[in-house]
Structure 1
Amino acid sequence: MPTSATVRPTTPPTVWLARGRHTGPAAEDVLRRSLQQRKDIRAIDDFLEVPASGEDSSERVFEARWQVPDRVIVRARLSLARGSGGEREWTLLAEAEQPWEPAWPSPAAVFWPQEPDAGWDHDAVTGLSLSRINPLPDDDKAVRRLLRHSARSGWNIHVVVHEAMTTDERGRLPLARWLPPSLRHRVVEHRAAPQQLRVVNWALRDHGVEVPRGGAVVLPGAPVPSGYDARDFSVRAVFLDGAEPADLTAAVTRFAALPRPLPDGAGDALAALREEWHLPTMEEELDRQRKLVAMYAEALEAMTKSRDLYREAAEHAHEALAAYRETAGTLAGPAQPQAASPLQQLTRTLERLKGTARALRPAALAEPDRDREREGREPDDRERADREPAHLEGGAAEPAGAER
């Protein structure tokens, strides 16, 4: 038996899900009329067409809320997406406040009209009817291709019934009429002609199931539900005489009760149902308003506390500043001259030394020295004698040219 390599979350017991195809025109208008009729007769509490997220959005979403026996509230969300050839594929998930009961109405019957040939009750994978018998095609390759796709389907339940002999009108009654209401739009019934038994079992051998001659089998789907055993969901004989096929309906009901992994795309649809819900009850709306009031009250209280703390801190800062100014005014003495920096003191000392040196040197000596320094030579003896004053011991200097 093939198993899925990826571990997926199990479908919650409160959830009903199905996927189909609408082959007729104007699927949105059909839904609007059907839901409005349900609301007018009070079969549902309310419904809503969720505004499109963008101008060119091709998806349409409808929500509805109703109650089942014991006042259990059901919330359902149906999304329409573009399919091939102008068809619309629909995905429908419903969740109740309690585990889902098979006797509750089918959510598909709540959204869609129950008129013959309404165009919406087709399987999304195979395009086959969800409420009528679907004879297998005559071509063997088409049979194998169809059953392989059906065996991999995870949204709806596929059942293969083999006719041991050609039946009359009494044997052409669909299985859906005997199923519980919640299963009537989730089951695809395939009918194999007497000569097709071999090709049917050849197509299903990779999935580990086999159709008994004149019997039926419930296909495992993908991923395979935990606890699925082909022998438990295989019926040895189905009497197609117009009577209820009790063994087959029991097998289908047991299969639907298995904990099944969420099929592809069901996780996102379930998250959208729970997180993007737009139709709260009155109690839920009151509870939401109370929570908003409580949240605003907490925010206001926090702002008030923050304002008081800020004001108190500002007052403390002003008091500290005033105290500091008062203390500084008391301790301050007469103004003292600003002390000179060490560089300024050194400069002033050098200037004083320079002035003292100039005062000690005669001006007369300064000029020749400067000339000599400029010429780069020492004074000779005559120059020294001319500059030196004549000293006479005991008398005055003789004038030049005097006779002795």
Structure 2
Amino acid sequence: MSSSDPVWRRLLTEVFREWFISETIWIDTADGELALSAVSKSTEPQRWARAITEDRYLVTQVNFGADPPDGELPWPSSSSSMPSIVAMMLEALDVRHGQSVLEIGTGTGWNAALLSRRAGDAGRVVTVEVDPTLAERARGALDRAGYSPTVVTGDGAKGFPDGAPYDRIIATASFREVLPAAWLEQLRPGGRLVGPWDNDWLGGMLVLDKDEDGNATGRFRDQLAFMRLRDQRAAYYGWEPEESEIERAALTETGCRGSDGDNIFNPELGRFAIGALVPDCYLHIDFNTPADYHHVVDLDDGFARSFARMYWDVNTPTHYQVRQLGPRKLWDEVEAAYDWWHDNDEPGMERFGLEIRDGKQWLWLDHPDHVVRVVTG
């Protein structure tokens, strides 16, 4: 939970996370499977307390508050972020005493409490939560802890215009490629916005500053994985053809082999750049299937009804093989993006940024004039 800012270091030790965490939380299972284990404060108080003090994210709601259907595993619908991530984003936001702050995604209310302490009595914090149950729970926790930000139940993508303009805006729900226009409109000229930008490959923390003309530019820093704004979550789940249809598709040789797969899919290497260049392409990797060092990569665009399955054998010297269906040849697009990554000195996330000007948003490399892809406008 460390921060290089001494004020944040102090506040993170004074505003206790446990004040805002629900009676039941869900944590990852120890065996590494994609499954959640419920931990109750009343029945497992020591395990509950240990989880809260660790630098880990905690799932605080599953299935939008409903019970999972019989035989199905719960899936996360709200969480409390890792304290180290909270500290990193708050430090990047650079809130000053007396400023007005808008938070998108109240969650437990812990972040809103921290912001309230930093802005002080002379400042103002508004936090927006789409889920009425979570909003009410956060109001109660904040009141009991002695903090009084304005908690609004509503669609975070719309911000809260009644309180605008804001000196700072922070999003704790990720947005898919395009920054909601309302956020920029409600940010004061000279203000800063911090939030998790993502696509279907990899997400990163965007730190965006707005100029006096109403335009904005910023760079990406550090990988982040946050739950998306709720009206965008359907985009996580792609369309897939029947297995029999995949098997009937021609099996062809790719131009990649050996370490190419790691270069393409490793988040520290080409994954951010390649994902940015291949829009509307959901990525899923089944590692070690059907054997160790044999991976299956699925790409799909549900809107275009296009799909690719690439067989990634790490140890073989031969080229990988792929099956492609639909009008988009998704693997061909990935290979073209991989070539671009090589040709541009293999950039990592930190060399990319987002520019917003005259209603248009585009990704850039190294400088706003080096346009990588226009994402809107």
The answer to whether the superposition gives a TM-score over 0.5 is no
More helix by share: 1
* Higher gyration radius (CA): 1
TM range (shorter): under 0.3
Structure having greater relative contact order (Cα 8 Å, sep ≥ 6): 1
More strand by share: 2
